[in-house]
């Protein structure tokens, strides 16, 4: 009798908590499903390879894809070396209790918590006004060239934003390399620098790659920091110079969804754009998650 009362309580509670998990999974399924169902009819080679036409109601989104890819590429070039070296410092060089190491660690943690819109303000205040403005003053007699929104400034802003992602995943990757490998290299007479760069780093490469993928996925999806550091709604030309503005998938979604005069006419393009953005980020995230869980299993 008592046994069955227990069983009923257990089943009821498992059902209650399980349904909470189910609601979350369902929400995820509805979001992905809605975008897939409404977006796929629009999806075609023309859509990803052509420019928009007729006031954004026809044509494709190629310039937005191009801009996003270029933006993320520049960001990666900036963030990977700095992030990886910072992680090497934290894991291989720093005395863990030293004040400097603790300050770096706390800075990384706090950086991860800064709201993305504040990064946007930082991009305007630091990169555009301060760095760009001073370049213009010193080299171009005050002609405004660098002191305005540009793909370079947007990508550097995103690089600062994704720095914690790269640092944390790289540190995790370094942790998976057995200590004996370092000791063996040192015992054979290599310097610490050689041991780390010739022995440890190659082994940590898959983990560092995971971090790079996560950073790219994050950077490709962030819209708030680029709103006023370089994104434009429509440009007749693709960006070719570092001080050009660029079109961007996330910004395109934002403007199409909120500022379109005729939402029904732009809706197919809007859903198509969301689908492309979602495909890019979901595939990258999925790749990183599987890569990471495989690595964890291998080294656990």
89-128 residues in contact with another protein (CB under 8 A) are 89-90, 93-94, 100, 103-104, 107-111, 113-122, 124-126
Stretch of residues binding another protein (CB under 8 A), selected from 57-65, 170-178, 201-209, 246-254: 246-254
**Interface with another protein, residue 289, by CB under 8 A:** yes
- Spatial distance between the Cα atoms of 37 and 33, rounded to a whole number of angstroms: 6
- Spatial distance between the Cα atoms of 62 and 51, rounded to a whole number of angstroms: 6
**Interface with another protein, residue 25, by CB under 8 A:** yes
Supply the DSSP symbol for 178: -
Taking the complex as a whole, the smallest distance from the CB of residue 122 to another protein amounts, in Å, to 5
**Interface with another protein, residue 222, by CB under 8 A:** yes
For the chain, give percent helix, strand, coil, nearest 5: 75, 0, 20
The string of DSSP letters for 136-162 reads HHHHSTT-SSSSS--HHHHHHHHHHHH
**Interface with another protein, residue 82, by CB under 8 A:** yes
- Spatial distance between the Cα atoms of 219 and 73, rounded to a whole number of angstroms: 10
- Spatial distance between the Cα atoms of 46 and 37, rounded to a whole number of angstroms: 19
Among 76, 86, 155, 266, contact with another protein (rule: CB under 8 A): 86
**Interface with another protein, residue 142, by CB under 8 A:** no
Between 75 and 240, CB nearer to another protein:
75
- Spatial distance between the Cα atoms of 252 and 269, rounded to a whole number of angstroms: 10
Find the binding residues for another protein in span 178-197 (CB under 8 A).
191-194
CA distance to 22, 53, 212, 281, 291, per residue, from 285 (Å): 21, 32, 11, 6, 10
Among 70, 217, 269, 295, contact with another protein (rule: CB under 8 A): 217
- Spatial distance between the Cα atoms of 268 and 251, rounded to a whole number of angstroms: 16
Taking the complex as a whole, the smallest distance from the CB of residue 120 to another protein amounts, in Å, to 7
Taking the complex as a whole, the smallest distance from the CB of residue 72 to another protein amounts, in Å, to 12
Between 240 and 258, CB nearer to another protein:
258
Among 36, 235, 238, 257, contact with another protein (rule: CB under 8 A): 257
Taking the complex as a whole, the smallest distance from the CB of residue 282 to another protein amounts, in Å, to 7
Find the binding residues for another protein in span 33-52 (CB under 8 A).
34-35
Residue pair 281/215 in contact (Cβ under 8 Å)? The answer is: no
Stretch of residues binding another protein (CB under 8 A), selected from 10-18, 69-77, 172-180, 204-212: 10-18
- Spatial distance between the Cα atoms of 27 and 34, rounded to a whole number of angstroms: 10
Between 60 and 120, CB nearer to another protein:
120
- Spatial distance between the Cα atoms of 28 and 25, rounded to a whole number of angstroms: 5
Taking the complex as a whole, the smallest distance from the CB of residue 192 to another protein amounts, in Å, to 6
Question: How many binding residues for another protein (CB under 8 A)?
Answer: 87
């Amino acid at each position: 009798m008592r046994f069955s009362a227990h069983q009923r309580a257990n089943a009821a509670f498992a059902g209650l908590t399980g349904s909470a998990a189910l609601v979350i999974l369902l929400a995820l399924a509805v979001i992905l499903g809605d975008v897939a169902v409404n977006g796929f009819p629009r999806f075609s080679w023309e859509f990803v390879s052509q420019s928009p036409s007729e006031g954004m109601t026809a044509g494709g989104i190629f310039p937005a894809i191009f801009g996003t890819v270029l933006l993320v590429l520049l960001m990666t070039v900036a963030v990977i070396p700095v992030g990886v070296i910072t992680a090497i410092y934290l894991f291989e060089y720093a005395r863990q209790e030293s004040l400097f190491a603790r300050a770096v660690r706390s800075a990384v943690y706090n950086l991860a918590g800064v709201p993305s819109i504040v990064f946007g303000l930082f991009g305007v205040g630091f990169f555009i006004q301060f760095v760009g403005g001073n370049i213009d003053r010193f080299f171009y007699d005050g002609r405004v060239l660098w002191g305005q929104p540009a793909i370079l400034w947007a990508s550097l802003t995103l690089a600062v934003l994704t720095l914690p992602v790269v640092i944390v995943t790289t540190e995790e990757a370094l942790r998976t390399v057995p200590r004996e490998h370092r000791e063996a290299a040192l015992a054979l007479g290599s310097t610490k620098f050689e041991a780390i760069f010739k022995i440890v780093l190659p082994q940590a490469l898959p983990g560092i790659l995971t971090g790079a993928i996560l950073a790219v996925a994050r950077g490709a999806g962030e819209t708030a920091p680029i709103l006023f550091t370089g994104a434009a709604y429509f440009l007749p030309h693709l960006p070719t110079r570092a001080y050009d503005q660029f079109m961007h998938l996330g910004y395109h979604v934002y403007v199409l969804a909120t500022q379109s005069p005729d939402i029904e006419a732009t809706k197919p393009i809007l859903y198509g754009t969301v689908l492309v953005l979602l495909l890019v980020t979901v595939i990258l995230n999925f790749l990183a998650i599987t890569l990471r869980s495989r690595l964890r299993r291998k080294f656990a």
